[in-house]
Structure 1
C-alpha cells in the first residue's frame, strides 16, 4: 500500500469490507480512504479498478459507506433500517451499469462500463450490501465486540458466533488487553 496511509482491512464480504475503510468509529477514527487515489487503491484491491476518481465521487463513496454501515448495524441488532440509508444504497445500486462475467478460471469478475466509472464500482458494493442486509446470503450480520470499533461484519463461520470484525486487529487487541490486565492483577504469575 502507499506509504503514509493506514493499511486496508480486507475481508471476504465486499460491502462490510468497504465499511471498514473507516475503522475505530467509537475511538480514534481511522479514515482509510482520505483521498480519491486511496479510494481507487481500495477499489483495485477488491477487483473494481478504475482509472480516475474525483473528490465528488469520493464523497459519494463515503456517503454509501456510511449508509451501508447504518443499515448493516440496524440489521445486526434487528432494528428498523434507516430510511435515508436505504435510499442511498438503492440509488447507488440503480445508478451503476457493471456486469458480472465468468473468467476461464471459474471466478466472477466485474466489468465496469468505463475505466473511470466509480459509480459502477459503487453499484457493485451497494448490490452486495443489499444481498447481505436482505438476508439472501448464508451468514449473519453482527457487530464487532471491540468497544472502540463496533463495526458491522458478516459472520459466515459455521457456528455464527464470531465476535470480532477482524481477529488480526480487534480480536488480538482485546486478547492482549485481557492478558495485560491479568498480569497486572497477578504480577507474580509465571509467563
Structure 2
C-alpha cells in the first residue's frame, strides 16, 4: 500500500525531516503524509510509533509541520518568528506526554504514553523544533538553494555551508541541470542509459 505514495525524505534532524513531509513547496507540492495511516507510518519510521491517527490528528500534524517550517524559515533568514507558528509549536510541545530515555549506548530514545497518541509524538517533534530554532544545538538553520524547494534544514557541516536540504534530491537535480547546461542537452539515446 505504501508504494502508492511518495517516499519519505528522512533526515538526521526530526523537526526538519518532519517539515520535509511536504516538499517542493514553491513548485508542484508533494504531500508525503496524505492520509492518517501515512502519518502513522512516518512516525513509526522515526521511532515514534502510535497505534492510530484520526483525520483531526492529521490536520493537527500538518498545522505543526507548517508552523515549524514558518518558524525555521524565519530563523534561517534571521527574521522575527511568526507569533501564530510559535503558539502552535508551544501548544503541541505542551499537549503530549513523552519522556526522554537514555539507552546503554548513550543515545536518547523517546517513550510515549501508553497507549501512544499522535499528540505524544507531535510533542516530541515540537520539542525538537524548539531546540533547533532556539539555537540549543550545534548547527544552524538554512534554506535549500533549490528555487522550487526552499525547505528549511539544520546544517551541522563543519563549514555550515550546505546548500541543499537533501543531496539525493535537490542537490542531484541541480548537478544534473548544471551538467546539461554545460554539455548541451543529451540525446534521447544517451539519456536513457
Q: Normalising to structure 2: TM-score of the pair?
A: 0.93
Q: How does 1:34-45 map to 2 (within 5 A)?
A: 34-45=34-45
Q: How does 1:1-191 map to 2 (within 5 A)?
A: 2-184=2-184
Contact 1:52–1:115 (Cα < 8 Å) also in 2? no
* Cα distance in 2 between the residues matched to 1:114 and 1:148: 40
Contact 1:67–1:86 (Cα < 8 Å) also in 2? yes
Aligned-pair CA distance for 1:101? 1.0
- Cα deviation digits, residues 47-78 of structure 1 (max 9, x gap): 00001110000000000000000000000000
- After the TM superposition, which segments of 4 or more aligned residues of structure 1 sit over 4 Å from their partners? none
Contact 1:146–1:164 (Cα < 8 Å) also in 2? yes
User: Which sits farther off after the overlay, 87-96 or 113-122?
Assistant: 113-122
Aligned-pair CA distance for 1:116? 3.9
Contact 1:51–1:115 (Cα < 8 Å) also in 2? yes
* Cα distance in 2 between the residues matched to 1:129 and 1:143: 15
- Give the gaps of 5 or more residues in structure 2: 188-193
* Cα distance in 1 between the residues matched to 2:37 and 2:106: 30
* Cα distance in 1 between the residues matched to 2:104 and 2:130: 28
Contact 1:49–1:115 (Cα < 8 Å) also in 2? no
Contact 1:101–1:108 (Cα < 8 Å) also in 2? yes
* Cα distance in 2 between the residues matched to 1:114 and 1:169: 37
SS at match of 2:131: helix
Aligned-pair CA distance for 1:96? 1.0
Q: Please provide the CA RMSD for this pair.
A: 1.5
Aligned-pair CA distance for 1:109? 1.4
